[in-house]
Structure 1
Amino acid sequence: MEQEKFDILDSIPDLNNLKSFTERYFSKRYIIDFDNIKNNDIMIMFHSNRIALLGLAPSHFFFKKDVEYKINFSAGKVNRLNNSVKGKSKKGGQCLVPNSVICKVEYTDGSSFDVPCGMKGTLVEVNEELIEHPELLKEMPDSDGFIAIILSSIAISEATKNELLTHEEYLNVLKKNETLCDENN
């Protein structure tokens, strides 16, 4: 009886089609034109355990500007790098409201913009990796380029998720805005 040959390499899944950690475990929500600033679009990725990752939405004006930049976590009188949480319930973290500035993106041409947190919660930590590798913000905004980790109560987390645009709604708004721009040109 002839045995069938089995190539071990055939058992390895196609790594190009694997979803990232955030794609598998987080649901993306969006805020369009935060603070009535055109294309100041925020992305908040929610995990079922109330942890939220803050990032810039792909439609944020940041992605259209091709100038070198750095990330500054000193927001006014508060340095987000000094945030210190302790224990399972993350006591001692800095309290945040939607307009709280998490960081400032500073361009080498002298211009800058503030990144708001977009939700009420407690700052668990900022992504210090962005200081040494600011390119992560542009290259991997929904994974290694996240800006901060925020924790809120179950009620606030659910209410915030329900107020924000889902990924599908976000894509529809972008498509609608693109159509309006085409019609006006």
Structure 2
Amino acid sequence: MEYKILDSIPDIANVKSFTDRYFSKRYILNVDGVENNDIMLMFHSNRITLLSLAPSHFFFKKDMKYTINFSIGNVDRLNNTVKGKGKKGGQILTPNSIICKIEYSDGSSFDVPCGLKGTLIEVNEQLVKHPELLKEMPDANGYIAIILSSIANSEAAKNKLLSHEEYIKLFEST
């Protein structure tokens, strides 16, 4: 019997990404009353949440050079350090806590809020050197931050926010 190894390889076009397989996407639309200021929170079952910009965010429509600044007022998110299994020492966040500022070459900018009560585990330092990741891979290597919240906070947030299916339906109709 002849075995063809190439026949055993799955169709890569139909394979889901890591975040699509293991994370539940939720959305907050029009943050601070600003139209299309939309963020995406990707929840893992282990309470880890990835913060990113939603595909509908106005950022993706603006074609201008930009940088990502994690220094917010007197807090530098890049200096966030956590230790141990319990992630001690992480910066405490509220849903309105600013994680970073995206600054355009024309001097304009906007803040990216956390959207969730929790502890900052880390920010994506790669965005400082390679800001294009935010635009090219927002739900993968272009995530902004990793947040850890309690089970209660995580579940409450998931239940309040727009699910991925609801988000898709909302934008299909427009």
Q: Same fold (TM over 0.5)?
A: yes
Could you tell me how far apart the structure 1 residues matched to 2:23 and 2:168 are? Answer: 17
Equivalence map 1:7-156=2 (5 Å): 7-156=4-153
Higher alpha-carbon Rg: 1
Q: Name the SS for the 1:88 alignment partner.
A: coil
Instruction: Tell me, in whole angstroms, the C-alpha distance in 1 between the residues paired with 2:10 and 2:130.
Output: 30
Q: Deviations over 1:103-155 (max 9, x none)?
A: 01111111111100111000000000111111110011011100000000000
Shift of 1:11: 1.3
Correspondence for 1:160 among 135, 140, 157: 157
Measured in 2, the distance between the counterparts of 1:137 and 1:108 equals 16
Partners of 1:42 and 1:76 lie apart in 2 by 21
Q: Flag structure 1 segments of 5+ consecutive residues without an equivalent.
A: 179-185
Deviation readout 1:85-119 (Å, 9 max, x if unpaired): 01111011000001111001111111111100111
Q: In percent, how many aligned pairs have the same letter?
A: 72
Hey, what's the Cα distance between the residues in 1 that align with 2:169 and 2:14?
24
Q: CA deviation at 1:6?
A: 2.7
Specify the alignment match of 2:169 in structure 1: 172
Q: How many residues align?
A: 174
Find the counterpart in structure 2 of residue 182 from structure 1. none
Whole-Å separation in 1 of the counterparts to 2:12 and 2:168? 26
- Where 1:24 maps in the other structure, the secondary structure is helix
Letter in 2 for 1:103: C
- For residue 7 of structure 1, report the CA deviation from its aligned partner: 1.9
Tell me by how many angstroms 1:14 deviates: 1.9
- RMSD over aligned CA atoms reads 1.0
Letter in 1 for 2:90: G
CA positional deviation for 1:20: 1.1
